[in-house]
Amino acid sequence: MYAEYGSSTATAYTLPTALSANSWQQYTIPLGTLGIADRPNVHRITLQLRNDGTSGTFYLDDLEFTAKAIPAVINVSVNATQALRTVDARHFGVNLAMWDDFMDSPDHTTTISLLREMGCLTVRVPGGSLSDEYHWSSNTTLSNSWQWQASFPEFMRVATNVGVQVFVAVNHGSGTPQEAAAWVAYANGDAALYGTPNDVSLGVDGGGRDWRSVGYWRACAR
């Protein structure tokens, strides 16, 4: 019998007595015997016939791990004066989700007031796993024609009023690099470039869509 943890294999343990025919035998094996009493990354325990043993049919029943008894008294102390590290402000945030019916409340005051009340410092848009399906310019996902309740301009209106840091998750699932670049241009481009020789073309994606230029998308955002 042996255990594996991480990328290591502990020393094998041999059962002390041979199995008797037509009878059950109970074995209690401490985890310390297997070398894994304090290992947090155990992923396998193997029971197998040794290469010098005699093959035959045997049965296993009622395999269980017995929890270590909890001490009668546990003393915990906290040193509130000792600073271990500074908490990153980006930990205090939430997703702003495209399916949020209340994002578009009158003047967005409900969402804004709730984010301020919770002390929100950062937000991620357009939400969680649906970010990998989201087409920002149409406010749709995948090949759907219907639009979601909240759009990118609404996200930014809320985030700007709250004064939070924004992380935008681009669509790298069903989207294209050109689509992502157009989103960056929409949010941060220079509208004065549109129609000038200095405007930057974003090119045509694999589906044949022309994503115009940086100046075009920024002009659309104004």
C-alpha torsion sign, points 25, 3, 34, 14: positive
Q: What percent of the chain has a predicted confidence (pLDDT) above 70?
A: 97
DSSP assigned state of 57: -
Q: How confident is the model at residue 190 (pLDDT cuts 50, 70, 90)?
A: very high
* Residue 109: partners with Cβ closer than 8 Å, 6 or more residues away: none
The whole-chain average pLDDT of the chain stands at 90
Q: Dump pLDDT digits (tens) for 91-147.
A: 999 999 999 888 867 766 788 989 999 999 999 999 888 999 999 999 999 999 999
**Out of 17-26, 93-102, 181-190, least confident range:** 17-26
**Out of 12-16, 113-117, 157-161, 191-195, least confident range:** 12-16
The domains found in the chain, sorted by start residue, are 1-64 (no CATH), 89-221 (3.20.20.80)
Q: 93: helix, coil or strand?
A: strand
Nearest alpha carbon to residue 190 among 159, 216, 166: 216
How many whole angstroms separate alpha carbon 5 and alpha carbon 109?
A: 52
Nearest alpha carbon to residue 126 among 91, 162, 146, 155: 155
Mean pLDDT for 1-17 is: 89
pLDDT of residue 108: 62
> pTM for this structure?
0.62
How many whole angstroms separate alpha carbon 100 and alpha carbon 168?
A: 17
Q: How confident is the model at residue 59 (pLDDT cuts 50, 70, 90)?
A: confident
pLDDT of residue 107: 62
Amino acid at 27: Y
**Out of 33-47, 64-78, 118-132, least confident range:** 64-78
CA distances from 91 to 101, 123, 126, 135, 161 (A): 25, 10, 18, 27, 20
Mean pLDDT for 173-182 is: 96
Contact 23, 34 (CB under 8 A): no
pLDDT of residue 60: 84
pLDDT of residue 95: 94
* Residue 68: partners with Cβ closer than 8 Å, 6 or more residues away: none
E strands within the chain? 2-5, 8-9, 42-46, 93-95, 122-125, 134-135, 140-141, 165-168
Instruction: Scan for tokens 């991480």, then name that residue.
Output: 6
